Structure 1
Amino acid sequence: MSDVSIYRLGLVLLLSSGLAMPLIAAPLDEALKPLPAIAVLDPAKVELGRQLFNEPRLSVNNTLSCASCHHLETSGADDKAFSLGFDGKPVPLNTPTVFNASLNFKQFWDGRVDTLQAQVEHVVISPLEMGSDWKTVVQNLSALPAYQNAFKQTYTDGVTAANVQDALATYERTLLTPNSRFDQYLLGNTEILTIQEKYGYQRFKDYGCIACHQGVNIGGNMFQKFGVMGDYFKARGNPLESDLGRYLLTQDEEDRHVFKVPSLRNVAVTAPYFHDASAKTLEEAVDVMFKYQLGRTPSQEDKDLIIQFLKTLTGEWAGKPL
């Protein structure tokens, strides 16, 4: 029997210093799934979307592009608690990473839209973000021969709001971060993780973190109340309208403080954490999750193991680790 087969059956013993220790191995049916391969997409649309992603003319005063708040060379977000809108004022919610966003079941913290196209549409016209309107955006892009030609070659009807949104969404679907060490583990390279990281994954499951953070994006596929096992907002103090989450959309009391569960992919490089950016470090974020989501008090050893596991979720972009 091969090493991979033995690991997947959970029967391997690690021989270390002459002592046999049980190893935690990936079973065949995992709640977490490796990233899919990047879909084969129209290269002309992808390139046009890439240009638009870096285009400040999408904003009302030509100062803000998607790339202004989504730094692809680092985390797919930025390092600010709250990104700055076109007017230089901070937006009310922490900016999520754009990496792997195409795998989320909804977009935005409150999940108010279903598609990347709709997410682009909202950001451009948001008075807190780009502050523009689609008629102006189309006029500005149409005035540039390079965009005129690129759109005509890619879309039969040239520069339109729908085509701008489609090109950007197409590009964003390529923004996956493969080859994390944990993905390699799930795909059969069981030697890629240390025994501490494997035990961290087991603790992640044992404590119930996996109830909300599962699937291909290790989150991003459900809504959850922030403060299931305690009043997080009372403890934090200074309540804000943005803390109401989906309640602002639905006016349903059951949606008060409910948000889309974020993906944990690349979580080690996307600080600060939560919609309110209240956790500055991964350690702080884990503490908050244990107290207010799980209602459990882990040992320091278990927390350390889980954090070691979370650091294995960092993938690559453009062939380089984030």
Structure 2
Amino acid sequence: MKSTRFVVAIAAASLTLASSLFAAEKSETVILGDSALTAGIPGEGPLKLEEINQWLAEPKNHQPLGVELPFGLNAAAGQITGLDVNPMTRAKIELGRQLYFDPRLSSDDSISCASCHHPDFGWAFESQFGIGVDGQEGNRNSPVSFNRILSGPQFWDGRAATLEEQAVGPIANPIEMANTHELAVDRLKKIPGYKVQFDKIFDDGVNIDNVGQALATFERAIVTGPAPYDYYEVVRSFEKQFPADELEYLEEDDPELFAKYAEAQKNAAGMSESARRGREIFFSEKGNCTACHAGANFTDELYHNLGVGMDAEEPDLGRHAVTKQDKDRGAFKTPTIRNITQTAPYMHDGSQATLEEVVEWYAKGGHPNPHLSDKMKKLNLTQQDKKDLVNFMKACTGDFPKIEPGRLPE
């Protein structure tokens, strides 16, 4: 029993809520997803200059933070990007939060980052395409802005090399915020609450690069919490090591270890029998899902042609517009499966309204075209298999940190 317990103890250790990275030489280490990082400066109503100055006067708000990922994402700690050049601080997260929800970055005060990537819609939006100033529509669905700390190049086609670059792109896009970087910066300089923050946080005050750094820092703080799937993996580890008739003795033999098993069982309740079957399909050749949706965040961060939209007279060529390589025609970035139930509609063009439609698309092998990914194959799935896959994806949903969307500088 002792040797077996040792193996299971290793698995049980995955219940630890986080795996640290970038903690060395930092004054404090925080777990991303903690609502205290994103809840805003305490108080009600518009942010007054006095409140902002009091916040800025607190030294701990300017200390670089070491970060940990919450349980579920912790296995992807090695994929964290951007903190070496843009360290996180509480003050920078808070400034980014304000900018994210502020429509004054747009030309007519109508559009903010949250207009297309809103916490009420899984940090994406319910419309098929992003909607900008004067109701203008693009031709792509709004990608999610959570778990971006694990992503390098941004947008469906990867045209922005960093999250900082992506963050300022929509400001100058004529069909999004329809502003210019120069005018946006000039406006921020005229808002005392913003100017004092930029001057305190950055050596060179208000400029578009620092706007991007603040926005990116806030977005890196938005991560998904543990999902029923994550806890179920712990349950599976226990049950693989202990036959059913031995588990009943574990409580008596090692109460502390059994308590971890019981906690995982309780939190895995959202993994129904159907979802458990779906998990087996997802991770097997039968479903072939992990050919692209791999790793702790369920994405390879690569670009694939699934045939979506390729039957159009002039299809969106996606990644090809960036690389000019023939192999990238019609290829788009793999989205995460985490919290996908909250982010409909799906695909880069928002053409599929439900997860059931998405599974059907994969089951038929996508739409044939000369550049279809070699990972797309027809799947031999029953109707029950398809339901099970959908239920598994739903069980990959965790909580988001609480966000204060208001409380902007006067």
1:92 equivalenced with 2:175 (yes/no): no
| Cross-structure match for 1:299 | 382
Q: Report Cα offsets for 1:145-182 as digits up to 9, x if no partner.
A: 11111111211221111111100000000010112112
Q: CA deviation at 1:120?
A: 1.2
Q: Secondary structure at the match of 2:332?
A: strand
Inter-CA distance 290–153: structure 2 relative to 1 (3 Å threshold): same
1:5 equivalenced with 2:85 (yes/no): no
Q: Report Cα offsets for 1:255-311 as digits up to 9, x if no partner.
A: 111111111111111111001111111100111122223312311111111111100
1:115 equivalenced with 2:174 (yes/no): no
Q: Secondary structure at the match of 1:313?
A: coil
| Cross-structure match for 2:291 | 211
Q: TM-score under structure 2 normalisation?
A: 0.66
| Cross-structure match for 2:72 | 34
Q: What are the within-5 Å matches in structure 2 for residues 198-237 of structure 1?
A: 198-206=276-284, 207-219=287-299, 221-227=301-307, 232-233=308-309, 237=311
**Whole-Å separation in 2 of the counterparts to 1:239 and 1:261:** 24
**Whole-Å separation in 2 of the counterparts to 1:133 and 1:147:** 18
Gaps of 5+ in 2: 12-70, 236-263, 367-375, 404-410
Q: CA deviation at 1:250?
A: 2.6
- Kindly indicate whether the alpha-carbon contact (under 8 Å) linking 2:198 and 2:206 is maintained by their aligned counterparts in 1: yes
Q: CA deviation at 1:87?
A: 2.5
Task: Pick from 177, 181, 187 the counterpart of residue 228 of structure 2.
Answer: 181
| Cross-structure match for 2:351 | 278
**Whole-Å separation in 1 of the counterparts to 2:323 and 2:181:** 26
Q: Secondary structure at the match of 2:129?
A: coil
**Whole-Å separation in 2 of the counterparts to 1:318 and 1:254:** 39
* Aligned-partner residue type, residue 136 of structure 2: K
- Kindly indicate whether the alpha-carbon contact (under 8 Å) linking 2:117 and 2:144 is maintained by their aligned counterparts in 1: yes
| Cross-structure match for 2:203 | 156
Q: Secondary structure at the match of 2:312?
A: coil
Inter-CA distance 254–54: structure 2 relative to 1 (3 Å threshold): same
Q: What are the within-5 Å matches in structure 2 for residues 67-146 of structure 1?
A: 67-146=114-193
Greater displacement, 74-83 / 291-300: 291-300
Q: CA deviation at 1:184?
A: 2.6
* Aligned-partner residue type, residue 104 of structure 1: S
| Cross-structure match for 1:311 | 394
* Aligned-partner residue type, residue 290 of structure 1: A
- Kindly indicate whether the alpha-carbon contact (under 8 Å) linking 1:286 and 1:303 is maintained by their aligned counterparts in 2: yes
**Whole-Å separation in 2 of the counterparts to 1:162 and 1:204:** 41
**Whole-Å separation in 2 of the counterparts to 1:132 and 1:308:** 42
Q: Secondary structure at the match of 1:44?
A: helix
Q: Secondary structure at the match of 1:317?
A: coil
Q: CA deviation at 1:7?
A: 12
Q: Secondary structure at the match of 1:244?
A: coil
State the number of aligned residues.
290
User: Identity across aligned pairs (percent)?
Assistant: 36
Greater displacement, 96-105 / 269-278: 96-105
Q: CA deviation at 1:74?
A: 3.2
1:57 equivalenced with 2:104 (yes/no): yes
- Kindly indicate whether the alpha-carbon contact (under 8 Å) linking 1:178 and 1:317 is maintained by their aligned counterparts in 2: yes
Q: Which of structures 1 and 2 has the bigger CA Rg?
A: 2
Q: TM-score under structure 1 normalisation?
A: 0.83
1:238 equivalenced with 2:238 (yes/no): no
**Whole-Å separation in 2 of the counterparts to 1:6 and 1:46:** 36
Inter-CA distance 233–72: structure 2 relative to 1 (3 Å threshold): closer
* Aligned-partner residue type, residue 312 of structure 2: N
**Whole-Å separation in 2 of the counterparts to 1:143 and 1:177:** 36
Q: Secondary structure at the match of 2:327?
A: helix
Inter-CA distance 95–4: structure 2 relative to 1 (3 Å threshold): farther
* Aligned-partner residue type, residue 307 of structure 1: V
| Cross-structure match for 1:264 | 337
Inter-CA distance 143–157: structure 2 relative to 1 (3 Å threshold): same
**Whole-Å separation in 2 of the counterparts to 1:4 and 1:77:** 41
Greater displacement, 276-285 / 67-76: 67-76
Q: CA deviation at 1:100?
A: 1.3
Gaps of 5+ in 1: 9-32
Q: CA deviation at 1:109?
A: 0.5
Q: CA deviation at 1:128?
A: 2.0
